[in-house]
């Protein structure tokens, strides 16, 4: 079965997806998880179909088809590629919640280290920061993925014209922001206008938010290690430098 071959070929993708689903079930519940992940996957897939044909929103790029027959494709897009957007957006959302939502003061009723999860968890500042973090992690992921022929990903895609950031066009990063914005805005509309989703809990333990943050940094470290492993030291150092302020803020919040 082609789906099983896809799992065996890209086990790290499905490992990250499994972690994301567990973390999201605990943070948002099954219904909200299904809504967020479903909207994100559909948005990413349609944007990839669009970009490989008309160059919007990621810019002009193509899939080589080198893994056809070895993994599942939907049209000309590898299934695992658009699937990756789902757990990356959830992880970005978790980190945005961690950085922006205020902690409740300690009390015997609320417990130590709880974070408020009300409708503020879908405010525009949270959505904006989610999209920025979503775009930022691709600044690390995409250049090393472009060099997939030097590790176990393989050369599955490329750009007709090499971009200015280690071969990646800046339009690609803008496209990630667009995908995040469309998906998160659609999720917000579903939450506020359609009343189709169960209400968010008043508060959730900080560790539930930190599970998603851990996933974000797990993916980040995985890609940074690959970057250094293939000898791209300048690219790896650039990624570390980009994440220094974000990591400092996250650790400061944790210390408090």
What's the distance, Cα to Cα, between the start and end of the chain in Å? 50
What is residue 105's predicted lDDT score, i.e. its pLDDT? Answer: 52
**Whether 184 contacts 95, CB under 8 Å:** no
- The fraction of the chain above a pLDDT of 90, given in percent, is 78
Angle formed at CA 131 by CA 126 and CA 133, multiple of 5 degrees = 95
Residue whose C-alpha is closest to residue 223's, from 139, 155, 157:
139
Of 69, 71, 75, 18, nearest in space to 47 by CA? 75
3-state class of 74 per DSSP? strand
Report pLDDT for 64.
Answer: 94
Q: Give dist(CA 123, CA 222) in Å, integer.
A: 30
Domain spans in the chain, listed from the N-terminal domain onward: 2-255
- Give the pLDDT band (50/70/90) at residue 152: very high
Tens-digit pLDDT profile for residues 64-100: 999 999 999 999 999 999 999 999 999 999 999 999 8
Helix (H, G, I), strand (E, B) or coil at 203: strand
Cβ neighbours of residue 140 under 8 Å, at least 6 residues apart? Answer: 220, 223, 224, 227, 239, 242, 243
- pLDDT tens-digit map of 99-129: 988 765 545 454 455 555 555 788 899 999 9
Q: How many CB atoms are closer than 10 A to CB 108?
A: 6
């Amino acid at each position: 079965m082609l789906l099983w071959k896809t799992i065996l070929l890209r086990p790290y993708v499905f490992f990250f997806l499994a972690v994301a689903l567990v973390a999201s079930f605990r943070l948002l519940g099954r219904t909200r998880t299904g809504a967020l992940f479903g909207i994100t996957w559909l948005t990413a897939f349609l944007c990839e179909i669009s970009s490989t044909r008309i160059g919007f929103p990621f810019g002009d790029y193509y899939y080589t088809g080198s893994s056809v027959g070895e993994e599942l494709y939907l049209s000309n897009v590898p299934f695992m590629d658009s699937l990756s957007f789902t757990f990356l957006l959830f992880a970005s959302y978790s980190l945005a919640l961690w950085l922006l939502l205020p902690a409740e003061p300690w009390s015997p009723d609320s417990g130590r280290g709880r974070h408020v999860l009300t409708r503020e968890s879908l405010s525009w500042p949270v959505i904006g920061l989610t999209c920025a973090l979503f775009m930022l992690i691709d600044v690390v992921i995409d250049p090393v993925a472009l060099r997939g022929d030097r590790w176990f990903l393989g050369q599955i895609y490329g750009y007709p014209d090499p971009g200015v950031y280690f071969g990646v066009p800046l339009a690609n990063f803008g496209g990630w922001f667009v995908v995040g914005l469309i998906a998160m805005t659609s999720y917000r509309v579903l939450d506020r206008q359609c009343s189709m989703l169960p209400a968010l809990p008043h508060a959730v333990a900080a560790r539930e938010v930190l599970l998603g943050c851990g996933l974000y940094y797990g993916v980040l470290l995985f890609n940074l290690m690959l970057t250094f492993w293939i000898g791209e030291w300048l690219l790896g150092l650039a990624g570390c430098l980009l994440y220094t302020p974000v990591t400092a803020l996250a650790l400061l919040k944790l210390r408090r």
